[in-house]
Amino acid sequence: MVEGWDYEEFKRRFYQKMGLELDRYKDKQMERRIRQLMQREGKATFNELMQYILEDEKFKEKFMNYLTINTSEFFRDGKVFASLQGEILPRLLHSFQSLFIWSAGCSIGAESYSIAILLDQLRALHRARIVATDIDEKALSIARKGVYQEKLLDNTGPHLINKYFTKNKEGLAISEKLRKAVDFRSHNLFVDPVPGRCHLILCRNVFIYFKADTQAFLLEKFSSNLEQGGFLVIGSAEYISNPGRYRLKKLYPTIYEKL
């Protein structure tokens, strides 16, 4: 009989087979989520769960999708987008001829398209390159398709919905112009290189799930790839306790400028 693995052993095996370091995520939260899924799927041990992941491609996808909590919506945290539209993007457009914007942990693309909408409103979409990345392939395929349920647009003004979306049988489809403006890529924040020198990085509601040392590692990675005068935007439940350490200055609770 196989000895039952504990969570530590599961994390090790998962990394060997799947290449994702679960150890970088906060343990309590992650273990609880995984155990909940095991219960739902009728898997009594971590060994059984691992076997199921390896044998069933569909379940593997479901598991990865479940692990990486991908809730998102358009213009999530209205205040942040108001600052981006009213101050941050105009400042960047004034200082730089063209912008490289990275939406890191973009999930289904709502955040990335929200930025594209703001840039279009500022008549500057042609001056920006938007790269949006996530580890979750399923979320990325939704993002690339760009069709959303109406409830994800609750924070989006009706004039913007009319201008940028068309209703079809599946939901609201984003305009071709915006769909083409965002380059969605598969990317693991722990190991993959930053996609370019950035003027604006949005990494919101992503590192809240990571352990402190991984958060610090990522903040350093973000900062060293941000142009001076560029900005990092984090989620409203996230906090950088010592921004100076990363050559960042807090401008608003979720917006930091690179010094």
User: Contact positions toward ligand SAM, by CB under 6 A?
Assistant: 68-72, 76, 105-107, 110-111, 134-136, 139, 187-190, 204-206, 235
Residue 240 beta carbon to ligand SAM: minimum distance, rounded to whole angstroms: 16
Residue 166 beta carbon to ligand SAM: minimum distance, rounded to whole angstroms: 23
Residue 171 beta carbon to ligand SAM: minimum distance, rounded to whole angstroms: 17
Which C-beta is closer to ligand SAM: that of 119 or that of 218?
218
Q: Which residue has the tokens 């009319």?
A: 162
Which C-beta is closer to ligand SAM: that of 47 or that of 155?
155
Decide: 120 and 126 in contact? Cβ < 8 Å. no
Decide: 180 and 211 in contact? Cβ < 8 Å. no
Backbone angles phi, psi at 102, to 5 degrees: -120, 120
Which C-beta is closer to ligand SAM: that of 205 or that of 225?
205
Which C-beta is closer to ligand SAM: that of 120 or that of 136?
136
Torsion sign, CA atoms 169, 184, 138, 201: negative
Count Cβ neighbours within 10 Å for each residue of 94-106 and write b for 16 or more, e otherwise: eebeebbbbbbbb
Q: Which residue has the tokens 């989520």?
A: 33
Residue 76 beta carbon to ligand SAM: minimum distance, rounded to whole angstroms: 5
Residue 104 beta carbon to ligand SAM: minimum distance, rounded to whole angstroms: 7
Region of 89 on the Ramachandran plot (φ > 0 left; ψ -120 to 50 alpha; else beta): alpha
Decide: 203 and 19 in contact? Cβ < 8 Å. no
* Helix 57-67 with 46-55: angle, nearest 10 deg: 120
Which C-beta is closer to ligand SAM: that of 111 or that of 257?
111
